[in-house]
Amino acid sequence: MAITEQQNERGKLYDLTRPFAWLYRSPTAVNLVYKIQKKDVFGMYQNITGPLRQPKEFGSAYNFYINPSEILADEIITQIRFKNESDSRMEFSGFIDFRLIITEENYFGSLLQYDTQESNWFTSTTAFGIDAAIQHQETFGLSQDKWLDKCRVHQQAVTNSVKFLTNKPVTTTDMGVDDSEYIYTFIQEKRIRLKISFLTNSNSSTGTPAYTPYLTYGLHSIGIGIPNIISMISLNQWNAVQPNVHKVRYVLERFNGDEVSEVGEYFVNKEKCTTERLRVYWKNRKGGIDGYTFNSELAVNIDVKSKTFQSSLGYRRANDEDVNSAGYIVNNTYGSDTRNIGSTNIMGTETISVTSKFHKQETLKWLSEIITSPQVWIENLTTGNLNSVYSIQSKAILKPKGKSLGQMKLKLRMSNELMTQR
């Protein structure tokens, strides 16, 4: 067997919504037969496909391009975290550690055959995939999928270079003390942790920083909201620093204290909100989940659809006919409570309309991802329960004429219909 692998980077992070092709060469094969494998929780690679066949590139004598992106994407599941969960979690279902095993297929007589003994097959490099959606303009001037190289923590990453898996502006937002919040990052280096610092109004530190445990290889969601921080330290520790806290600062750092990621900050909003609040979460374009709280009056509506039926009234006899021993009229097929026209298949759907605060254009651009996200949820801020959103109508005024700020207006339609009797 003379299979060689070309141009494939070990440990590379792939955006599985964009096709990518791995190049293999064999001067002797008619076809390549391959299987896709993923690493399980025990660290073993297991087949997720049967044998697949790949012919030569048209016009080439030895080039074979294999694109596993669609199959790999089906292996990823998005799981949202509930309110006030602990500080960090490995998202095992949110990424895939994969490789290919490959063998040649050739003619033996008039039949195409290949070696069925997998231990004899060529093993590809290993790589990772997440369910991200990198935009064309982001990859302009870069080779395929190079953008995600900015979003993984690895040995070659320089100080403050790694991006979190979000398009959220890292320094222009605020959060309430009841808002759970998570950032997502992909770790490929040992001894990496998140440092959370508390800053006063003058940007000086107050209290002792909070740290996550050192994170293992893979995709992590890390809690950075105040409820998440309290679960990381303690309520007593938070109460001690809370009076002086104006901002929260977070950054990934190595064991020696070197900061490897961008620095995120948010303002802590301690005011009791007098308006209604709606917390919205959505799957973002970088493969993580973002959240935002709408502090505005909520308009809640019920949209109803139904079908109408018409039935025969039947017959009615005189009141003194067919009277039983108890004095009730029997054998009449309708009475005063009988309906001739009625409704069936009644379906009610709850919709909620909200408006954001005034924001700069970069923040509104980030919020506009809600409109195109495949998965959106709203949170009950009292119970922490989540409801899935089916469809979204939106109006974004990124920059009204003569003004520097704009708003986002959303109409959210719940996925779960209101239950009615048949």
From first to last of its 422 residues, the chain has per-residue pLDDT tens of 689 998 777 888 999 988 888 999 999 999 999 999 999 988 999 999 999 999 999 888 899 999 999 999 999 998 888 765 667 888 889 999 999 999 999 999 889 999 999 999 999 999 999 999 888 777 665 655 577 888 899 888 888 899 999 999 877 678 888 888 899 999 999 899 999 999 998 889 998 899 999 998 899 999 999 988 988 888 888 889 989 999 999 999 999 999 999 999 999 988 765 567 888 999 999 999 999 988 877 788 888 877 888 877 776 665 555 555 555 556 666 666 777 787 777 878 888 888 888 888 888 889 989 988 999 998 876 667 788 887 777 766 656 666 678 888 888 888 887 777 77
The token pair at 246 is: 């104006």
Beta bridge partners of 111: 108
CB 219 within 8 A of CB 286: no
Query: Tokens 């016009």 belong to which residue?
Result: 59
Q: What's the order of all strands across the beta sheet hosting 22-25?
A: 4-6, 22-25, 63-66
| Per-domain boundaries in the chain | 4-133, 149-270, 295-307+345-414
Helix (H) or strand (E) holding 389: strand 386-397
With CA atoms as reference, report the closest residue to 404 among 363, 371, 370.
363
Helix (H) or strand (E) holding 370: helix 369-372
CATH topology of domain 149-270: Immunoglobulin-like (2.60.40)
What DSSP designation does 357 have?
P
Give CA–CA dist 81/341, Å, rounded.
47
Are 4-133 and 149-270 the same fold in CATH?
yes
Give CA–CA dist 53/35, Å, rounded.
9
Beta bridge partners of 283: 289
Give CA–CA dist 151/259, Å, rounded.
14
The token pair at 38 is: 């993923």
Q: How many C-beta neighbours within 10 Å does residue 300 have?
A: 9
CA distances from 395 to 139, 191, 364, 376, 409 (A): 28, 44, 11, 17, 5
CA distances from 102 to 7, 72, 412 (A): 16, 17, 47
With CA atoms as reference, report the closest residue to 225 among 214, 213, 210.
210
CATH architecture of 4-133: Sandwich (2.60)
115-123: long-range contacts at Cβ-Cβ below 8 A with a sequence spacing of 24 or more? Answer: 115/1, 118/35, 120/1, 122/1, 122/3, 122/5, 123/99
Query: Tokens 């297991």 belong to which residue?
Result: 46
Helix (H) or strand (E) holding 134: none
Q: Is 94 helix (H, G, I), strand (E, B) or coil?
A: helix
